[in-house]
C-alpha cells in the first residue's frame, strides 16, 4: 500500500515508523529516511520555510511512489512531507519502504529520496539573523537521479 | 489560463498567480509575452536555464504546447526532501 | 557516537528512531533499517530462535560500526540486535545511521546490514508445526559484501 | 583451551563448549584431533566448507595458529540481521 501525506503540522518519526510497521503484510525489511532541519555549516539558522505547489505536490509524490512500487518488490511505501515554517531540529519529511528483501527496501527508499529532492515541487528558504535566502538546488542531487535512468 | 509563480519567481513578479489571456502556442511564447510586460517579469524570466515549468501540474519544458492547457507554473529548480 | 546493544528483550523501533534522532548533533539525514520476523513463503512459522556468541557478538558489531564511521561522514550509528525466541511480526534487529548528507546515511546503513548478516555471530532457527530447521546462509548475502571490498 | 560450538555444530556434538588439552599447532590440526575422537565429532566436522571458525573471538581460518590461543569456536555460516 502507498501512503502520501503533505502537511504543515509537525510529525513524529518514531510514531510513523511504528504505524507503518504495524500495517506491513509479510515484509521482513523496513527502511526509513528522515530529513531534519539542520543548521548551515556557518551557523545562525533561525528557521526554514518550505513552499510547495498544492495539487501538483500530491500528484508528483504519488507518481514517484507508484514508480518505486513498480521497480522493486515492495509491499508498502510511505512519504510524509511538510511545508510552512520549520524550526531547527524538526523533521522535514520522511520516506519508508517495506519489502521481503532488504536490497529492495534500501534501493527504493534512496530512489524516492533522489526523485523527491529534485522532482517534487518544494522550495526551501532559510531564515538567518541577517536575512533570508532560497536554498539552491545542488548539482549532486541532479546527478543522483542519473543512476536510476539506466536501469528499468 | 492560470499562470502560477513559486519561490523567488513569485517574489520577483510579486504575485503567486494570475489569469492570463493569451494566444501563445508554447510555453516559450508565453514567456516572451510576459517578459515584454514589465521589468519585474523581464527580470524574473531573464535566465530560463534557472527556471523550471509545469504544464497542468506536470513537469514540462519551454517547447511544450499550450493547446488546451489550463494552468502553467514557473519556479526555480526544486529543493524538496 | 556509536551505540551497540545485544539483548533478549523486545524493542520498539519507533522509540529507538526517536531516541536516536534526539541524540543527533547537526545531522540532517537519518536512515533506519528494521528487520522483522516474517513467515516463510510456504507459511507455518511458529517462532524464530536466535543463538549468538556472547562476547564476540558485541566486539564484531563494535568493529563493523567503527568501520562504517570511518568510511562515511557519519555523526552517529546504532545497532540493536536480539537473541532468544522471537514471535512472528516482532522486530529482530535494527540499524540507524545519521549524517549531514543522505548518501552517507544510506550507504553506511546498507554496509552495516550486509556485514551484520554474514559476519556477526548470530544463527537463526525456524520453528514450524512439523519441526525446526536452521536458516541457511544465502549466497546473495555473501555476494552483497563484495561491493564494499573494492572501495576504501 | 576452550572450544565452543554453535548452532547445528553444537547440536551435533551435543555440547556448547568444552575444555580441550591439545598440542595442535593450527585450527586444522585441532579439527583432526576432534574428528578422531567420536562419530559425533566426525559428523560435525565432515564438511569444513560448511564451517566457520573464530579464534579468540575473531573470525579466522583453518590455517590459523593456535599459539597462545585461549578460545576457539566452530559454527556454520552466520545468519544475522
Q: Which domain holds residue B69?
A: 2-75
* Domain covering C3-146 in this structure, CATH number: 3.90.1170.40
Of C38, C102, C110, the CB nearest to A33: C102
C10 touches chain A (CB under 8 A): no
Q: Name the residue among A15, A102, A113 with its Cβ closest to that of C113.
A: A102
Subunits touching A (CB < 8 Å, at least 3 pairs)? Answer: B, C
Burial of A149 (0-12, 13-18, 19+ CB in 10 A): exposed
Nearest Cα to B52, choosing from A130, A119, A96? A119
Alpha-helical runs (H) found in chain A = 13-22, 56-71, 102-119, 139-150
What is the pLDDT at residue A70? Answer: 97
Residue A6 at interface with chain B, using a CB cutoff of 8 Å = no
Among chain D residues, the shortest Cα distance to C114 is held by D81
Instruction: Answer yes or no: do C53 and D54 touch at CB < 8 A.
Output: yes
- In angstroms, the separation between the Cα of residue D68 and the nearest Cα of chain C is 18
DSSP state of D26: B
| Chain D: residue whose CA lies nearest to C50 | D80
Residue C15, H or E segment? helix C13-22
DSSP structural state of residue B66: -
How does residue C151 score in pLDDT terms, banded at 50, 70 and 90? Answer: low
Q: CA-nearest residue of chain A to B54?
A: A56
Please give the residue of chain A at the shortest CA–CA distance from C28.
Answer: A36
| Domain CATH number, residue B38 | 3.10.20.30
Window 52-91 of C, Cβ < 8 Å to A: 91
Mean pLDDT (whole number) for C19-26: 89
B73 touches chain A (CB under 8 A): yes
> Residue D24 — very low, low, confident or very high, per pLDDT cuts 50/70/90?
very high
| Cβ contact A134–B81 (<8 Å) | no
The C-alpha cell that represents D13 in the structure block = 556434538
Domain presence at residue D71: yes
- CB of A5 closer than 8 Å to CB of A58: no
CB contact under 8 A, B78 and A55: no
CB C64 within 8 A of CB C119: yes
- Beta strands B71-75 and C29-36, pairing class: unpaired
Evaluate whether chains D and B are touching (3 or more beta carbon pairs less than 8 Å apart): no
Cβ of residue C122 closer than 8 Å to a chain D Cβ:
yes
Q: What angle do CA A35, A40, A42 make, to 5 degrees?
A: 160
Q: Which helix (H) or strand (E) holds A85?
A: strand A84-87
Classify A106 as helix, strand or coil.
helix
C120 reaches D (C-beta below 8 A): yes
Q: How far is C128 from chain A (nearest CA, A)?
A: 16
- Residue B7 above 60 pLDDT? yes
**Measuring CA to CA, which residue among A25, A33, D81 is closest to residue C92?**
D81
State whether the Cα torsion B69-B71-B72-B77 is positive or negative. Answer: negative
- Which residue of C51, C56, C81 is in closest CB contact with D57? C56
Interface predicted TM-score of the whole assembly (ipTM), two decimals: 0.94
Query: CA of C147, closest CA in chain D: separation in Å?
Result: 18
Helix intervals (H) in A25-136: 56-71, 102-119
Nearest neighbour of D59 by CB, restricted to C116, C119, C123: C119
Contact A53 B80 (CB under 8 A): no
CB B47 within 8 A of CB B30: no
In angstroms, the separation between the Cα of residue B10 and the nearest Cα of chain A is 11
Mean pLDDT across chain B, nearest whole number?
A: 97
Instruction: Answer whether C109 sits within 8 Å of A105, measured CB to CB.
Output: no
Residue B49 lies in a domain: yes
Q: Give dist(CA B81, CA A30) in Å, integer.
A: 19
- D19 inside domain: yes
Residue B80 in domain: no
For residue B81, tell me if it sits in a domain: no
pLDDT at position B49 over 60? yes
Domain count, chain D: 1
Q: So what's the pLDDT on residue C25?
A: 79
Strands A84-87 and A2-7: unpaired
Contact residues for C13 (Cβ-Cβ < 8 A; gap 6+): A14, A17, A18, A21, A30, C32, C34, C91, C94
User: Residue B29: inside a domain, yes or no?
Assistant: yes
CB-based contacts of A138, cutoff 8 Å, min separation 6: none
Cα(A82)–Cα(A50) distance, integer angstroms: 8
Sheet bearing A45-52, strands edge to edge? A84-87, A45-52, A122-128, A131-134
Domain annotation covers residue D80:
no
pLDDT in tens, chain A (152 residues): 999 999 999 999 999 999 999 988 788 999 999 999 999 888 899 999 999 999 999 999 999 999 999 999 999 999 999 999 999 999 999 999 999 999 999 999 999 999 999 999 999 999 998 899 999 999 999 999 999 987 54
Distance from C-alpha of D51 to C-alpha of A49, rounded to nearest angstrom: 57
- Note whether residue D81 is domain-resident: no
Contact C39, C45 (CB under 8 A): yes
pLDDT at B69 over 70: yes
pLDDT at residue C152 is higher than 60: no
Residue C40 is predicted with a pLDDT of 86
CB contact under 8 A, C18 and A29: no
Nearest CA in chain C to D60: C119
Q: Any idea where the domains of chain A sit in the sequence?
A: 3-146
pLDDT tens by residue, C75-95: 999 999 999 999 999 999 999
Q: Which residues contact D12 (CB under 8 A, 6 or more apart)?
A: D40, D43, D44
Minimal CA separation from A22 to chain C, in Å: 9
Confirm if C3 and C78 have CB atoms less than 8 A apart: yes
Query: Any idea which of A48-52, A60-64, C39-43, C147-151 has the lowest mean pLDDT?
Result: C147-151
Partners of A18 on chain C (C-beta within 8 Å) are 12-14
Q: What is the pTM of this model?
A: 0.95
Give the Cα separation of B36 and A74 in Å (integer): 50
Give yes or no for a contact between A120 and A64, defined as CB atoms under 8 angstroms apart.
yes
Residue A37: list chain C partners with CB under 8 A: 28
Best of D5, D69, D73, D80 to mutate (most C CBs within 10 Å, chain C): D80
Q: Which residues of chain C lie closer than 8 angstroms to D78, CB-CB?
A: 117-123, 137
Cite the beta strand spans of C21-152 per DSSP E: 29-36, 45-52, 76-82, 84-87, 91-99, 122-128, 131-134
CA distance A137 to A91: 20
- Using the beta-carbon criterion (under 8 Å), do A102 and C38 form an inter-chain contact? no
User: DSSP letter at B26?
Assistant: B
Report the pLDDT value the prediction gives residue B5, as an integer from 0 to 100.
Answer: 98
Give the angle subtended at the CA of A109 by the CAs of C11 and A42, to the nearest 5°.
Answer: 90
- In chain D, how long is the greatest CA-to-CA distance? 37
Amino acid at each position: 500500500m502507498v501512503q502520501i501525506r503533505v502537511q504543515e503540522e509537525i510529525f513524529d518519526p518514531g510514531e510513523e515508523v511504528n504505524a507503518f510497521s504495524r500495517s506491513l503484510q509479510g515484509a521482513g525489511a523496513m527502511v526509513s529516511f528522515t530529513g531534519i532541519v539542520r543548521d548551515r555549516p556557518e551557523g545562525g539558522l533561525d528557521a526554514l520555510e518550505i513552499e510547495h505547489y498544492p495539487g501538483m505536490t500530491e500528484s508528483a509524490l504519488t507518481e514517484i511512489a507508484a514508480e518505486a512500487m513498480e521497480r522493486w518488490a515492495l509491499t508498502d511505501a510511505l512519504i510524509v512531507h511538510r511545508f510552512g515554517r520549520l524550526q531547527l531540529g524538526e523533521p522535514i519529511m520522511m520516506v519508508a519502504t517495506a519489502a521481503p528483501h532488504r536490497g529492495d527496501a534500501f534501493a527504493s527508499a534512496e530512489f524516492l529520496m533522489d526523485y523527491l529532492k529534485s522532482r517534487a515541487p518544494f522550495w526551501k528558504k532559510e531564515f538567518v539573523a541577517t536575512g533570508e535566502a532560497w536554498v539552491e538546488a545542488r548539482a549532486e542531487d541532479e546527478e543522483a537521479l542519473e543512476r536510476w535512468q539506466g536501469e528499468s | 489560463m492560470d499562470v502560477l509563480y513559486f519561490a523567488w519567481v513569485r517574489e520577483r513578479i510579486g504575485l503567486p498567480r494570475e489569469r492570463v489571456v493569451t494566444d501563445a502556442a508554447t510555453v516559450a511564447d508565453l514567456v516572451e509575452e510576459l517578459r515584454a510586460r514589465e521589468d519585474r517579469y523581464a527580470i524574473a524570466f531573464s535566465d530560463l536555464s534557472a527556471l523550471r515549468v509545469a504544464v497542468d501540474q506536470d513537469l514540462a519544458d519551454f517547447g511544450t504546447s499550450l493547446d488546451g492547457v489550463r494552468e502553467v507554473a514557473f519556479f526555480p529548480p526544486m529543493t524538496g526532501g
